[in-house]
Structure formats: structure tokens, C-alpha cells
Structure 1
Amino acid sequence: MLTINGGSSSIKFAFYQAGEPLKREPYGKVDRIGLEGAILTFHDAGGKKPESRDVDAADHKSAVKFLIKQIIGRGTRLYGKDYFTIYDFVKATNHFSDPEWDGEPLEPEPKD
């Protein structure tokens, strides 16, 4: 489960693994949105040192777009995911669509 909390100049996010109790997995934040020196901090599960990088986040829309693409990239690389399923009941993804980067949607191919 992914949770996202937006503030006036930040976005915090966390993944939780289902179960009793919920287990927090990777989490982080984008700070200083709309200000000079915006930064993404990403904490992987396992207590490793957090990773940080500068981001171009002139507004919340650009910050969310960057964040979603980072999450997808890390999820496929770190956790061996072959695809993601996004259920968007309110069409929020339309606000950060990027056909040039995203390409055409592909149906996942089952692995044997």
C-alpha cells in the first residue's frame, strides 16, 4: 500500500506491507517544493543510510511526477517487480501523464 501526504512545500510517502501489524517499507519525502534546493530523500527498508538527490520541483505537479517515476524505477530494480497496477478512481494520473517518457501501456506477460 502506498500512502502520500502533501504539505505546502513537501510531499511525504511510505509503502506498507499488508499484514498484522502493517510493516513500513521504503519511505521518504520531497522537501522545498517550489523553492530553490528541492530535494528527494529515500529511505529503503532495512535501516540503510538514506539516499538524497536534488530535484527540479517547481510545483507539486512536477514533484509528484518525478516521485512516481522514481518509485516505479526503484520498485522494479530493488524488488524484482515486473509491472505495477495503478487503480486511479479519480483520474489523478491524467495530471502527470508524459506519453514521451511513458510510452504506450503494455499488458504484463505472465512468467512461467
Structure 2
Amino acid sequence: MSLSAPAVHRGIAVGAFSAALLFGSAAIAVADPPANCTAADLARTASGVSNATADYLFNHPDVNDFFTGLRGQDRDAMSANTQNYLDANPSVKADLQGIRQPLVDFKGRC
């Protein structure tokens, strides 16, 4: 029984494809996840940012009053009012960005 050239080529292609799937997925499975990217790490980072934000707001009553006053506004109004406030108060914007930076770093790393 002899095989035609197209049948041989198909067999080689299927074999190569199967090997690529087998060994390619094995390489992916063996790769270590980035360090400190677990759900627990995210929770710890988020809680640290949350605590730092609360401390900041308690120590800056005017900022706390502004953000408290957003309650009840629709999403578009809240977003526009927040942007206007932060544009008018660049030091507050910088402070809050600094507080939030660990979450930004986490997202970039993980």
C-alpha cells in the first residue's frame, strides 16, 4: 500500500500541528505567574489604597465634603463634577493619584 504525496503532506502537517499544540501548551502551563499577583495580593493592595484614601479624606474635610456631595448624582454628572473639581485643585488630584498608584502598578504588573 503506497501513500500519495498529498496524503503524506497532510499527515506531516497534522503531526506538526499536534506537536505544536502539545508542546506549546506545555510551555504555557509551566510558565510562572508574575510575582505578587494573586487575589490575596490584589485584596491587600486595594485595602491599602482604600485605607490611605480614607485617611486622606478625614485629614482634608473640604475634599471629603466634595466627594460626599456627589452622592445621588447620575454617573455622567458625577464624572463631570469630579473632573472639574480635580482640574481646579491640582494638588488634590496629584495626592489622590499618588494614593492610587499601587493599584495602577498592580494592574501593570499583573
TM range (shorter): under 0.3
TM-score by length of 1: 0.24
TM-score by length of 2: 0.24
Q: Which structure has more RCO (C-alpha within 8 Å, separation ≥ 6)?
A: 2
Max Rg structure: 2
- The structure carrying a bigger helix percent of its residues is 2
- The structure carrying a bigger strand percent of its residues is 1
